Amino acid sequence: MGVVLGCCIPVLGVALGSVHVGVGRSPGSVDLPVARDAYGVPYLPGSGLKGSVKSLCILRYHRDPGFCEELLGWDVRLRGGVSPEEVSVSPVLFTDGLLLLAPVRVEVGGRLFFMYATSLLQLSRALNLASACGGSCRITSIISSLRECVGHGDAGFEGELLVNSVPVSGESIAGFNGDYGLACLRLMLEKVSPLASLLLGNGVIVFRDDGLFLDIVEAGLERVTRVRLDPAKKTVISGALWTEEYVPQGSVFFFTIMTRSSQSLDSETAHYKILDLLGEIGLVINVGGKESVGKGLLGLAVDDCCNTCSPRVEG
């Protein structure tokens, strides 16, 4: 008998400002780098995403902490030093946030445009993750559509340019018109971030060369040098200089929220409770703080058209 799979919620997370989810100090040129996955791409750890949602849950339901514990698991802020044997397993799991779309600058015909970049590898990784939510989900269809569009665009950027219409000297760049993926994705993002909607409207470059995509992402990261001040003298403390790294505003991540049956909740009940909770907290979370070693606001676009809550067993 394999693992019992329950309900699945696909989510897009948009960086509403510069975002830093770090891994602590580094001996390199950047003292506080952002977290990177095994492919070298910045990502959002699932544990940090869940911890941020849990923090907001505790603030929202501080008079009924049992709700948060039942849904998201035990927390020291709820019941202190309780024995782990007395706590049921959380029925909610957050996957890591995969960087799906990264802002990029492109010069065409002497004019500068800001749009999104991704790669075939990132789209394939996202589709692999989205497949757990089933083919009927909107986000699954969107990602699949973007992958299928590669080959229909302009390959002049060492990749495939997918646009509806970008004016250049009174003309338009040849693109893939009427693309379902871009139009539907923009519809989802415009409710969360006007910036993301604007960038997506300019187009998406899908890179075949994974190394080139990594170079583009690295070049787009923000690196800010900071100093520490002496609170009494209001002067810079000698030697207290460090550099932080940020994922830029407008970056789009993709992750899923999976639910399973636990001692306290069945999978379907947990599914609707986490959806209600996301609606209650306003679909904006702070991915910084003690849970994720960083800072930044993330706007969430939940695929409310996806209703995959049919528990099944993978053999």
Model confidence over 157-185: pLDDT tens digits?
456 566 544 444 444 443 444 456 777 88
Instruction: Quickly list DSSP for 74-89.
Output: --HHHHSS--GGGSPP
Asked if the structure places residue 198 within a domain, the reply is yes
Say how far apart CA 227 and CA 236 lie, in whole Å: 7
Instruction: Please report whether residue 315 resides in a domain.
Output: no
Nearest to 139 by CA among 300, 270, 313, 286: 300
261, 4 Cβ separation under 8 angstroms: yes
Residue 313 lies in a domain: no
User: DSSP assignment, residue 173?
Assistant: -
Does residue 86 fall inside a structural domain? Answer: yes
Q: Apex CA 215: angle with CA 15 and CA 145, to 5°?
A: 60
**Contact (Cβ atoms closer than 8 angstroms) between residue 77 and residue 289:** no
- Say which residue, 81 or 314, is predicted with more confidence: 81
The end-to-end CA distance of the chain, in Å, is 6
Find all residues with CB under 8 Å of 35, minimum gap 6, and list them: 21, 22, 23, 42, 43, 44, 45
Half-sphere exposure at residue 224, Cβ-oriented, CA atoms within 13 angstroms: 12
Residue 126: its H or E element: helix 120-130
Residue 2 maps to a domain: no
Higher pLDDT, 73 or 104: 104
Range of the domain at 26: 9-308
Identify whether the C-beta of residue 49 lies closer than 8 Å to the C-beta of residue 97.
yes
Q: In this predicted structure, what is the pLDDT of residue 314?
A: 43
d(CA 37, CA 97): 10
Is residue 26, in this structure, part of any structural domain at all?
yes
Please count the structural domains in the chain. 1
What stretch of H or E contains 270? Answer: helix 267-280
Q: Does the pLDDT value for residue 191 go beyond 50? A: yes
Q: Has residue 15 got a pLDDT over 70?
A: yes
For residue 4, pLDDT beyond 60 = no
What does the mean pLDDT of the chain come to?
77
In b/e form, how buried is each residue of 34-52, taking b as 16+ CB within 10 angstroms?
bbbeeeebbbbbbebbbbb
- Name, of 114-118, 140-144, 168-172, the range with top average pLDDT: 114-118
In a domain, 290, yes or no: yes
Specify the 3-state DSSP secondary structure of 199. helix
| Domain assignment present for 4 | no
- Check: CB of residue 301 under 8 Å from CB of residue 192: yes
Phi-psi category of 205—alpha, beta or left, where left has phi over 0 and alpha has psi -120 to 50? Answer: beta
Give the pLDDT confidence score for residue 158 in this predicted structure. 52
Average pLDDT over residues 200-229: 84
8 A C-beta contact, residue 148 and residue 160: no
Beta carbons within 8 Å of 17's beta carbon, 6+ residues apart: 249, 296, 297
